[in-house]
Amino acid sequence: PRGPLLATILVPVATLVALLTWGISSPVGSSPDDDYHMASIWCSAGEAEGICEATADPDERLLPGDLLRAAKCYAFIEDQSASCPLPEGQMLPTDRGNWSHASYPPVFYSAMTPFVTHDVSVSVVLMRSANALLYVGILTALFFLLPRPQRPLLLWGAVISAVPLGMFLIPSVNPSSWAVLSATGLWVAAWGYFRQTGVRKWLLAGLSAVLLVLGAGSRSDAAVYGVIALLAAAVLSFRRDRRYALDLILPAVLGIVAVVFFFNAGQCAIVSGETALE
């Protein structure tokens, strides 16, 4: 039927347009702690002239002034637009970044590094667009791989987790972009893996692994949520047979990967209950 076919095409396209609209219209530095996250991305590949330079202080780096001051000129000033002048062409020092006492896993920052250019605004738009495409692409693939009864769960989960803050974070340079994607898709991908057979089963296994790495590689607390998602999928799929026992190998391995990510980063606020989308 044309109706369902048209919907399967229009929904991903409309979602991508909505996310790109947020990503392009939001000023640089507007998401939580963007100065920290942008500095971490710019320095993820090491020192580079005009991008990330060392200082005499090992805890400080020199970064483009318009990157560091992007939000400071308008944040909490209701009558100031984001078009305020910035110190372009200057390199300024900062100690806010993931280079000394690493709080966040490095995967997200490293993945964003290829989009870094000498134009901060262009770089940020490229990163935001890439994360919007990643979100829509993975969830669209997951939708078609899932058994039909599970597809509405994915759609409702995506809508509930995206509105309102998720729409802002997904097309951003904040690691929480990947954390939201992982939280939205991992549990249902792993559940689908237990339910499907043949090629789709193994594609869902691969997608589950990708979603786990995206989450655990962006935030340590997302690694914990990933383990919870895998446990939920295993419980929902419980059966008393040998195939189920063999299927448990995948979530067990992914759980170990999540634990390794968690303990290799300093952002373990989940333990003390102080976790926030920073």
For residue 124, is pLDDT > 80?
yes
CA distance 124 to 106: 18
Q: Please, which pLDDT band fits residue 272 given cuts at 50, 70 and 90? A: very low
What is the per-residue pLDDT for 89? Answer: 77
Contacts of 257 (CB under 8 A, 6+ apart): 209, 212, 213, 216
Cβ atoms 204, 237 nearer than 8 A = no
- Taking all residues of the chain, what is their mean pLDDT, rounded to a whole number? 88
Residue 52: strand, helix, or coil: strand
| Helices assigned H by DSSP within 26-150 | 34-42, 65-68, 107-112, 120-145
Mean pLDDT score, 218-222:
91
Q: Which of 42, 40, 130, 27 is nearest to 82 (CA)?
A: 27
Tokens 């002034």, residue located: 65
For residue 266, is pLDDT > 90?
no
For residue 220, is pLDDT > 50?
yes
Look at 5-19, 71-85, 145-159, 187-201 and tell me which has the smallest mean pLDDT. 71-85
Of the CA atoms within 13 Å of residue 77, those in its CB half-sphere come to 11
What is the per-residue pLDDT for 267? Answer: 59
pTM reported for the whole predicted model: 0.89
What is the per-residue pLDDT for 270? Answer: 46
Beta strand 91-94 pairing with 61-64? antiparallel
What is the per-residue pLDDT for 274? Answer: 46
Measured CA angle at 143 (ends 139, 145), to 5 deg: 115
Q: Which of 217, 206, 232, 234 is nearest to 179 (CA)?
A: 217
Distances (CA, A) of 73 to 18, 79, 119, 253: 27, 11, 19, 47
